[in-house]
Chain A
Amino acid sequence: MSTTTYNVIGTRPVRHDGADKVTGRALYGADLQLARMIHGAVLRSPHAHARILRIDTSKAEAFPGVFAVVTAADFPEAPADKIVDFGEGDTMLSSLRGNILASGKVLYSGHAVAAVAAVNAHVAAEAAALIEVDYEPLPCVLTAPEAMAPGAPILHDDLPNGNVAELIRYEMGDLDAGFAEATVIVERELDTATVHQGYIEPQNATAFWSSDGRIHIWCSTQGSFVARDASAAVLDVPVSQVKVTPMEIGGGFGGKINVYLEPVAAMLSKKAGRPVKLVMSRRDVFTGTGPTPGSRVRVKIGVNDAGKITAAQAWLAYEAGAYPGAMVGPGAMTVFACYDIPNVLIEGFDVVVNKPSTAAYRAPGAPNSALATETVLDEIAEKLGLDPLELRLRNAAQEGTRRADGPRYKRIGCIEVLEAMKASPHYNAPLPGPNCGRGVAIGFWFNAGLPSSATLSVNADGTVNLIEGSTDIGGSRTSLSMQAAEVLGLRAEDIHPTIVDTDSVGYTGVTGGSRTTFSTGLAVHDAAQIVVEQMKARAARLWAVDEVAFSNGVFSANGQSFTFAELAAQLGATGGPVSCSATVNPKGVGGSIAGLIIDVKVDPETGKTDVLRVTSVQDAGKAIHPAYVEGQMQGGTAQGIGWALNEEYFMDTAGDMRNGSYLDYRMPTALDLPMIETIIVEVPNPGHPFGVRGVGEANIVPPLAAVANALYRATGKRLNRVPMNPATILGL
């Protein structure tokens, strides 16, 4: 456990962007106003699967107030097999292009087909409705099992295995021998529905394609460089021709990594010669962006009399949506990641279906597979008469444990998280009465490294400007500033963070993969160390000494000393300003384990679940700003509970989403959840100077299973489908 003491790290300073956000001054993409700016609207497919026979835009073009209309035909062809890598894995350029504006076929209801730019958004919408599209509707297929069945409608002619885009197989040990040693074997199959991240701020993009060929994009993105690179790839221009200015972002959770509107706004701007703004409606967000896959997962686990898992097998089929890339890889890698299991077989299938192309959502792929593993373990614990946490402790992954997909863990906090759950006040409190149940589950997420850059400039008044490129979704301005302040011996308030555009800072990966506090934090840490070295050299020059010590913000040598601010005031006289940059591409990523304890009460007559008490436990490595760590834990838990209980894309048989509004999508509101208690566990990550592990994702992995287990205790029923909504609970 973490024992180092710090001055700034571990405290809870007020966030640097707090005043702007609570007073409404913070600028989001929809707030942007530019001279001569016009507004766009996107026409979307009403069909889940159809051939586009003809698009006639003439009426829209002739509509008064319209400046430009674009379709796929306006975009450069994507070479059939060109692969682009935006740091989060490979994507086929043709898929990216095809999803931006459909050509040939539409693959889901909501697929963008054309776009209009006009004097205002209402005129643009009216004109978009005048675009004539002749469709030849094709049969659609909406779930992975159906899409894998013989005779299913085929989405892409060029996939070798029908609708299966990828097969994954991880094997370790001897599965049959392992099951032969088991005395208890449980196998279950569970389905999850397509769900959306549910960020509050809809996607938006404003673009200006200048007559000199430079393209400037303002958007709501988790990664300005990824938005730049993806837009450049789709538009087939060099990356240096595109500048992305990230606006404030109202949530992303993985859903704002991909580009949707950016290239369209750019192409409209090129045609119109003016800046063009596009803002999605909530329905567009649901049907036209990237939800997380629905899935079917089958898990079989065998345990011996000692409560040791002898073998485990998983079969996972995830719905990629319209284009390959269902995150079944991470689903397969995490399915047994919390446990030390000698004999394993995991098979995963990435299956295309006629739904929106899926995107990342907080630990993408892991909640789906953990649902199956963690409910099967619950059942096994019950059969063995073991406490469910005790069963997990007997099998918990430790340093050196090998995962079926290859890696061996370095230091990992699985046992520490389980022990913290066991010792928690919540786990030791009685349940309040009848129809109540308590469930537990744990989950793992890798977290990511990826490149990050930062620049620190020392001001003469002793403060420091921090220039960085990580869009701030969960308080990263402050958690980064705190790391600089810790190194420099300053207060968090002495650091002034600014998030700049892609022309103004070194390459920085997405705010995703729980990596920002880790990777950008490392860049900030390294830059701050260079600042210290340079400041020491200045002090050495002033004092005419060779060695200067630096500790707690004070430079000293031979009994003389300067505070950081005193020395900062002398920089002009000692050689000029100090400004230092660092770019990192760290390898020492530390995975995070999270656990959840949840109490529910079910109304036996209506099937309604009330969530009574929730405790989220997570290994943060080191909590830089504990309040933001708690916020991540609470946020991931709230989303996971919503996913478990009520959220789903409710599609009709034609593949049209019938609940594309927050009224009917039924995310939990503030009244639906109690205060979520948190326990931060700190098992420092040896790969980070302060021990940071990412905390943004692992917390959403346990809730699905924990809720399912709690519902079983409350009702005696093991349900096989998420959402476990009231009707499902009553079997109606």
Chain B
Amino acid sequence: MKAFDYAAPASLPEAVGLLASQPSARLLAGGTDLLVQLRSGRKDADVVIDVKKIPELNEISFNPADGLTIGAAVPCYRLTADAAIQSHYPALVEVASWIGGTQIQGRASLGGNLCNSAPSADSIPLLIALGATALIAGPAGRRSVPVDEFCTAPGRNQLAPGELLVSIQIPAPAPFSGAAYLRFIPRNEMDIAVVGAGASVTLSNGVISAARVALSSVAPTPLFVPAAGESLLNQMPTAEALEAAAKIAQEAASPISDMRGTAAYRRHLCAVMVRRALELAVARAQEIN
């Protein structure tokens, strides 16, 4: 690893200013992706800007009207311990407890997971299913981008030079809604999703009135499949309906073969994991809440 300079701005304007003068700087949240990449030589850096000292990036706030705001640098362990998240977004607690292990969760952030923009990122399909948006700050001020449009290629995203992620905003859960993220790994921990599936479902009088489905590890970016969710609209959440939606998601996938699984196996898993994620989301929506 090459030597680099380090800065830790204490405010958002300071960070934006620093970034403007050092457009090639690397941003550091938990560092569980970045430091690994720097050490292995996959990335290098002259300047590293630590965003953990910026107050706005460390906030968690929830209110029933606006929903949930998660600062970009909030580590996973704070999400899993948060009472509001536990009661309104159980799937988010699960994802935050699956990323890495206990030590990793002490540092790893959802902001880092999103900005690292890996096709296999575990939180992104769920954020897409939950209809989350990314709040971005930069030289030209602030803007919002839906998470389902955020990633553009492996390791690439909508952030322009000089921009940084401030927070992730998730709408308040609708009544009778539920969400889930399931990933397939051959082991029970410490693995990268062979296929991951996120799903959300809203029921109105037992009929599906909204549904979103997204996948990880089956395309160059986490993959939002609007048609899968749309196929469920105005349907009862029957086994056949969920199965059909899963098949649509499977069709949309374009997996590759690598050391984590063959394309054929991944394609097979798409249908299984989406169906199971939908089943869990429906079960959660049906719980009295």
Residues on A lying within 8 angstroms of B by beta carbon are 122, 125-126, 283, 605-608, 645-646, 650, 658-659, 662-664, 666, 668-669, 671-672, 725-727, 730, 732
How far is A605 from B265 in the complex, measured between Cα atoms in Å? 11
Smallest beta-carbon distance A721→chain B, Å: 13
The reply to whether A727 and B262 contact each other, CB–CB distance below 8 Å, is: yes
Given the interface pairs A122-B2, A606-B269, the reply to whether A664 lies near B260 with Cβ below 8 Å is: yes
Contact A666 B191 (CB under 8 A): yes
Interchain CA distance A658-B260 in the complex, whole Å: 10
- Residues of A near B186 (CB, < 8 A) are 608, 645-646, 666, 725-726
| CB-based contact B187/A727 at 8 Å | no
Q: Which of A658, A725, A730 contacts B268 (CB 8 A)?
A: A730
With A608-B184, A646-B186, A672-B188 given, is the CB distance from A727 to B265 under 8 Å? Answer: yes
Query: In the assembled complex, how far is the CB of residue B147 from the closest CB belonging to chain A, in whole angstroms?
Result: 25
Interface flag for B48 (CB, 8 Å): no
Q: Which residues of B pack against A, CB within 8 Å?
A: 1-3, 40, 184, 186-192, 258-262, 264-265, 268-269, 272
List the B side residues contacting A658 at CB < 8 Å. 258-259
Which residues in B have their C-beta under 8 angstroms from that of A607? 265
* A664, closest chain B residue (CB): B259
Taking a contact as CB atoms under 8 Å apart, the answer to whether B192 and A122 are in contact is no
By a CB distance below 8 angstroms, the chain B residues around A125 are 1
- The residue from A122, A126, A646, A650 contacting B187, defined by CB atoms under 8 A apart: A646
Give the residue name and chain of the A residue nearest to B267 (CB): A732
- The CA of A122 and the CA of B269, in the complex, are separated in Å by 42
A659 and B259 in contact (CB under 8 A), knowing A122-B1, A126-B2, A727-B265? Answer: yes
With A663-B192, A664-B192, A666-B191 as given contacts, are A122 and B259 in contact (CB-CB < 8 Å)? no
CB-CB < 8 A to A732: which residues of B?
A: 262, 264-265, 268
Give the docked Cα–Cα distance between A152 and B208 (Å): 61
Cα–Cα, bound, A460→B1 (Å): 54
B268 and A666 contacting across the interface, CB-CB below 8 Å: no
- CB neighbours (8 Å) of A606 from chain B are 184, 269, 272
Can you list 7 pairs linking A and B with CB atoms under 8 Å apart?
A: A606-B269, A664-B259, A664-B260, A666-B186, A669-B188, A669-B190, A730-B268
* Least CB distance, B276 to chain A, in whole angstroms: 8
User: Which chain A residues border B192 with CB–CB below 8 Å?
Assistant: 663-664
Who on chain B is nearest to A651 by CB?
B259
Query: How near does chain B come to A640, taking the closest CB pair, in angstroms?
Result: 16
Bound CA–CA A668/B188 (angstroms): 9
**Chain A residues whose C-beta falls within 8 Å of the C-beta of B264 in the assembled complex:** 727, 732
Cα distance A668–B189 in the bound complex, in angstroms: 9
Chain B residues positioned under 8 Å from A122 (CB to CB) = 1-3
Decide: A650 and B190 in contact? CB cutoff 8 A: no
Write the nearest CB–CB distance from A53 to chain B, whole angstroms: 25
CB distance from B31 to the nearest CB of A (A): 16
Q: Which residues of B contact A726 (CB under 8 A)?
A: 184, 186, 265
Residues of A within 8 A of B258 (CB): 658
| A664 to B261 Cα, complex, angstroms | 11
The answer to whether B3 and A669 touch across the interface, beta carbons within 8 angstroms, is no
Once the chains are docked, how many angstroms separate the CA of A726 from the CA of B262? 11
Contacts A126-B2, A658-B259, A664-B259 given; indicate if A671 touches B188 (C-beta within 8 A): yes
CB neighbours (8 Å) of B272 from chain A are: 605-606
In the docked arrangement, what's the CA distance between A605 and B276, Å? 11
Of chain B, the residue at the smallest CB distance from A605 is B272
A415 CA to B245 CA, complexed, in Å: 57
Asked if residues B259 and A730 are in contact (CB atoms below 8 Å), the reply is: no
- Among B2, B259, B264: residue with most chain A CB under 10 A: B259
B259 contact set on A, CB distance < 8 A: 650, 658-659, 664
B270 to chain A, nearest CB (A): 11
Closest residue to A728 on the B side, CB-wise? B265
Contact residues in B for A672 (Cβ distance below 8 Å): 187-189
Q: What residue of chain B has the Cβ atom nearest to residue A658's Cβ? A: B259
Smallest beta-carbon distance A201→chain B, Å: 18
> Which residue from chain A places its CB closest to the CB of B272 in the assembled complex?
A605
Give the chain A neighbours of B269 by CB distance below 8 A: 606
Bound complex: CA A317 to CA B264 (Å): 30
Nearest-CB residue, chain B, relative to A122:
B1
**Top 10 A-B residue pairs of the complex, sorted by shortest distance between their CB atoms:** A650-B259, A732-B265, A727-B265, A671-B188, A659-B259, A658-B259, A732-B264, A605-B272, A671-B189, A646-B186
Contact B190 A663, beta carbon cutoff 8 Å: yes
**Shortest beta-carbon distance from B185 to chain A in Å:** 8
Chain A residues whose C-beta falls within 8 Å of the C-beta of B265 in the assembled complex? 607, 726-727, 730, 732
A663 CA to B262 CA, complexed, in Å: 18
Q: How far, in angstroms, from A672 to B190 measured CA to CA in the complex?
A: 11
B residues near A646, Cβ cutoff 8 Å: 186-187
Q: How far is the CA of A727 from the CA of B267 in the complex (A)?
A: 11
Given contacts A125-B1, A659-B259, A726-B265, 18 further A-B contacts (CB under 8 A): A122-B2, A126-B2, A283-B40, A607-B265, A608-B184, A608-B186, A645-B186, A658-B259, A663-B190, A663-B192, A664-B192, A666-B187, A668-B187, A669-B187, A672-B187, A726-B184, A726-B186, A727-B265
A672–B188 CA distance with the chains assembled, in angstroms:
6
* Contact of B261 (CB < 8 Å), options: A126, A645, A727: A727
Q: Write out the residue numbers on chain A whose beta carbons fall within 8 Å of the beta carbon of B268.
A: 730, 732
> How far is it, in angstroms, between the C-alpha of A666 and the C-alpha of B268 when the chains are bound?
21
Q: B48 to nearest A CB, angstroms?
A: 15
Q: How far is the CA of A725 from the CA of B261 in the complex (A)?
A: 10
